[in-house]
Amino acid sequence: MDKIYLNKMSFFGFHGVFPEEKKLGQRFQVDLILERDLKKAGETDDLQYSIDYGLVYQVTKDVVEGPAQNLVEKVAEDLSIELFKHFASLHACTVKVIKPDPPIPGHYDSVAIEIYRENR
């Protein structure tokens, strides 16, 4: 299956299990891999046979900057559901939600979760 990548989209949200995360908020990054047949898009140069990246960004922003969740796993799941609602031609998606600065001790670049979902 063909793939569209949207990498390192940045947002500010209030997700987390600690009270300060819900109060102060923090940065989140999202990487998406969207699977769809792109052959006809390549042949016709017509957006209707691809996926509107601007709309993908807006859907992602609405979820990540939307209601606070305890877990980024929930944010990722909600995002996959919304992507399938908005894009009927989407076959599958990989959603990676990254917390660059989680409030946990230690030295690391970030923590992240990644899910893969298929449109059923």
Positions annotated as catalytic residues are 99
Are residues 29 and 61 in contact, defined by beta-carbon separation less than 8 angstroms? no
Instruction: Name residues whose C-beta falls within 8 Å of residue 3's C-beta, 6 or more positions apart in sequence.
Output: 33, 34, 35
Backbone angles phi, psi at 95, to 5 degrees: -120, 125
Between CA 103 and CA 108, with CA 68 as vertex, the angle to 5 degrees is 25
> Which helix (H) or strand (E) is 47 found in, with range?
none
Are residues 87 and 57 in contact, defined by beta-carbon separation less than 8 angstroms? no
